[in-house]
Structures are given as structure tokens and as C-alpha cells.
Amino acid sequence: MVRPSVPAADALIGVKRPVLGHGYVVLVDYMGNDAAIVQAARVSYGVGTKNVRDDRGLVRYLLRHRHTTPFEMVEFKFLVRLPIYVARQMVRHRSASINEYSARYSVIPDEFDLPLPEDIRRQSTKNRQGRGDALPDAVREKFRSDLDRLSREAYAAYEQALAAGVARETARLLLPLAYYTEWYWKIDLHNLLHFLSLRLDAHAQEEIRRYAVEIAAIARTLCPVAVEAFEEFQLDSVSLSRRERAAIRSLLEGASPEAACVRAGLPLTRPDGKPMTSGEGVEFLEKLERIRETDVSFVTE
């Protein structure tokens, strides 16, 4: 038995893919590829599967019908350097194995994240945890200036504490979330696709989305068929609830989107009559807009 190898993925091993100011993603190692998914599925489904559908069709079938176990046969090992505030989001994906750079054993490098002016925006009125419209230049520059100053002052205090004999595990408390950490991050393809489905979403914080983009590019090199299927059946798909399906039926019968929401019990206004900015009805209208904006250039028939 020969270990599967993907020359294009082999060429990525050890290559730093820059993210943000001082961050990067590196593919350290991998196990398996699209063929490993097919192999695992055919062991499970028994003899004859290959005669029913080809490899690409089988992978797409598995993803489409959420038969996820075969995707666990592919694994990735990454080295990721990222700001602590991004790391706190990434570590939420508890299906990965993580071994982090230890600030108890080693001194943290003097590297912190300083967002670009265009990345500093107002609090979103629709997304309680996200950014919205642009801010005046003076506000953005003040924030960047404060962050730069406070980070440098914090690191100077950190160095002084170390020089005075304060233990590294205690001195690190002086450093803000903008400072960088790094870790080895090992994850199988099934859980990686779940990570990407959340962190490539428009509602995810922009900084972690940039890491997700680089990770997705590496995954696509190793498993192009699986990632293509993921993009079509999960990332770019639209799911519908029972009420949303009822609203779609009303649309097919000629109702306006607003009337369809009313019929299906998807609220668009508050009790005081003011329009809602979030909620099931608003989300349904956003899904309709996504459908309207769908690029159909891929259709060749």
C-alpha cells in the first residue's frame, strides 16, 4: 500500500501564506486526498459502488447527503500565526488538535496587529458582534494611534517585568489581545469544512475570514473535488426552514415577498409598527436577495 501524494500539495508544505501584518498559515503535513474519501466510502458501501457512480459523483453524493465519515479520512496539519483575539475565535472549533506556543516557556515576540484604516468601522446595526459603516478618518487614525501606543507601552512594561525577575507566565498578563501567538492546528477534512462554513461566512469577523481563505485554498489544492462539492452544496447553498418553505409556496402562487412573509408567520415589523432589522423575516428576504444575485454563468446547458 502506497501513501497517497498530491504533488501540488507537497509543493505547499513549509510555504508561509501571509495573513494580516505578522500572521501566516503554513501547511506542515497532510494525510489523504479525494481518493481517500472515495476509498473509505466504498469500503463502507460495499462492492459495486464504483460501477454505479464515478469518483467525483460519489464525493458529491456524500457531501450532498451529509455522509460525513469518509471525509474524516483526510487530515491536515497547519502552523498558524495569528493575533490572540483571532485565536480566541479559532479555538472555539473544538474538533481540532492544538498545540500552542507557550508564553510560560518563551518570551513573546514584539509583534502586534494594527488594523488598516478601512478595517476600522462603526458597530453594525444589524449584527451585534460585527462592523458596519465607515468612520471618519480622524476617529480611525485616533484608534490606530492609541492601539500602537498602548501596545508598545505594554511590551516595554512586559520587558521590564521580565528583567526584574517576574515569571514569564505572570509577565505575559501585561500584553493586549493584539499580540500574536502561534500553534500547530491538526484537523480532519469533515471538521475543516465545518470550520470554513462558519468562518468564510459574511457574518464572521473579517480577520478570521482572511485566515479561512488561505486554509480553504490549501484544502482545495489537496481535495479539489471535495472542496468544490462543499462550496456548491454547503457554502453557496441556501437552507429553508418550514416557514420559509411556506413563504416560497406563497411566492410561487404570486404573493409579494412581504405578503409571503405575513402568510408564513415570518415577522417583518415590531409590535410598535417599526420595521425589524433582524429576525426570521429579515433573514428570509436576505436569502431571496442571495438567490436573485446568484451567478448562473456556470450553467453550460
Residues annotated as catalytic (active site), given as ranges: 199
- Which residues, at least 6 apart from 53, have a Cβ–Cβ distance to it below 8 Å? 61
What is d(CA 131, CA 237) in angstroms, rounded to the nearest whole number?
A: 24
Question: Could you tell me if 18 and 24 are in contact, meaning their C-beta atoms sit under 8 angstroms apart?
Answer: yes
**Burial class, 68, CB count within 10 angstroms (exposed 0-12 / middle 13-18 / buried 19+):** middle
From residue 53, how far is each of 38, 62, 219, 227 by CA, in Å? 11, 12, 24, 19
Residue the block writes with cell 466504498: 42
Q: Which string of DSSP letters, residue by residue, matches 72-129?
A: GG-EEEEEEEEEHHHHHHHTT-TTSEEEEPPTTTSPPPS-B----GGG-EEEPSS-TT
Neighbours of 30 (CB within 10 A): 25
